[in-house]
Amino acid sequence: MEHLINSNVREIEISGIRKFFNLVSQYDDVISLTIGQPDFHTPSHVKEAAHNAIDNNKTNYTPNAGLPELRRAAAHFVQHKYGLSYEADSEVIVSIGASQGIDIAFRTILEPGVEVILPGPIYPGYEPLIKLCGATPVYIDTRDTYFKITAKQIEQHLTDKTRCIILPYPSNPTGVAIQEEELIKIATLLKDKDIFILSDEIYSELVFTGKHHSIANYPGMKEKTIVINGVSKSHSMTGWRIGLVFGPEYVMKQMLKVHQYNVSCASSISQYAALEALTEGINDAEVMSIQYKERMEYVHNRLVKMGLDVVKPDGAFYLFPSIQKYGISSFDFAQQLVENAGIAVVPGSAFSPLGEGFVRVSYAYNMETLVEAMDRFENYLTTIS
Ligand SMILES: Cc1ncc(COP(=O)(O)O)c(C=O)c1O
């Protein structure tokens, strides 16, 4: 009966990151630089808010879109931090992590036959969801533009089928962000076109160079942009599964139906924790961001000294060095690194075919681990070059 399974589902592949984890788990004494989540604990005051929610029996369904006070806090958060303006009652949905927010956004705006533009290399979470909607992903190669999509590249790839463009900045796996000047050009290009933008800003609080800018802020853009955010990375709350979706009312009222029949609502306990994070903990990410920047500078310097080409990130907690000069695939390179040097990094091919020739190094680890890992990396590279 397998042939009766939805063909869109059958065609989706297991993530390349997962395949590599399975391989790495067979080896001992491996320092893993593969993780895609913060190494800090969730702030104590946030955990306490969750305890209180349980003790006070705040354990029922919440409104589908999320607790009104959390939606107000979320709207205030993006207003205060990035100047975005959303109505808490009608333009915010609390999702189950950014992941489910992306899913309900796609299912609201995509359908068979339409195209979605994505800059590659890119986080692997979008393509399968696009394909489940029957839509077609169209990759733009950003390897020659420092992994940043440009207005010119977008213009060259627009067709009458383009329904959505994904702007995933600061980026996983490259850490880069788009500078304001280019964002303005992109906004100018798109403002009069009937095309949605999905702006995944989950790393917005972890920006090292200047401020985070959202495309939704530029003239005419709010009406066509869906902003994805959440507390997973900003407050080290990946396991609490709270994401935030912001968009114009005409989109959100449709998206709420998808969300309602999909999950009813996010966990009430996690929502109370997120409320604390976005109010009393509104600046919690600052301390973490300072540490990520220090680690980024350290690892970036070490990789450069090893002779690797690597774009300096603007945020998040990843570096994406090129390993092209070694003339082997990123999977083989990463596998040999595990076997011969005892370090695990993620092969770039996990981030779309455009990630081939690179590896993702996460620095969401303490300095001691990073120093040891870089020493091992350097020793290994001297043996092969
Ligand atoms: C770019 C990007 N978007 C979305 C997600 C998913 O976030 P969440 O854990 O809140 O679902 C991740 C997780 O790594 C990510 O890197």
Domain ranges of the chain: 2-42+284-384, 60-278
Give whole-number Cα distances, 312 to 61, 112, 124, 321, in Å.
44, 38, 21, 9
Q: Which atom of ligand 1 is nearest to the CA of 37?
A: 14
Distance in angstroms (rounded) separating the CA atoms of residues 291 and 26:
31
Please count the other Cβ atoms lying within 10 Å of the Cβ belonging to residue 274.
32
Alpha carbon 150 to its chain centroid, in Å, reads: 19
Which residues are CB-contacts of 311 (< 8 A; sequence separation ≥ 6)? Answer: 146, 147, 174, 175, 176, 320
Ligand 1 center–CA 202 separation, angstroms: 6
Pocket test for ligand 1, best of 118, 169, 204, 232 (most atoms within 8 A of CB): 232
- Give CATH for domain 2-42+284-384: 3.90.1150.10
Q: What is the pLDDT of residues 339-349, one digit of tens each?
A: 999 999 999 99
Q: For residues 149 and 140, is the Cβ–Cβ distance under 8 A?
A: yes
φ, ψ (nearest 5 deg) of residue 280: -65, -30
Q: What is the pLDDT of residues 289-320, one digit of tens each?
A: 999 999 999 999 999 999 999 999 999 999 99
Q: Which atom of ligand 1 is nearest to the CA of 242?
A: 10
User: What own/partner pairs with CB < 8 Å and gap ≥ 24 does 151-160 have?
Assistant: 151/182, 151/185, 151/186, 151/188, 151/189, 153/119, 154/117, 154/186, 154/189, 154/190, 155/189, 157/117, 158/117, 158/193, 158/195, 159/115
Residue 29 burial (10 A CB sphere; 0-12, 13-18, 19+): exposed
Which residues are CB-contacts of 335 (< 8 A; sequence separation ≥ 6)? Answer: 23
CATH match for 60-278 among 3.40.630.10, 3.40.50.300, 3.40.640.10, 3.40.718.10: 3.40.640.10
Ligand 1 center–CA 97 separation, angstroms: 7
Ligand 1 center–CA 341 separation, angstroms: 29
Residue 219 has pLDDT above 90, yes or no: yes
Q: What is the pLDDT of residues 79-124, one digit of tens each?
A: 999 999 999 999 999 999 999 999 999 999 999 999 999 999 999 9
Ligand 1 center–CA 102 separation, angstroms: 9
Predicted pLDDT of residue 337: 95
Residues with CB under 6 A from ligand 1: 36, 97-99, 123, 125, 168, 172, 200, 202, 230, 232, 238, 243
Pocket test for ligand 1, best of 106, 169, 202 (most atoms within 8 A of CB): 202
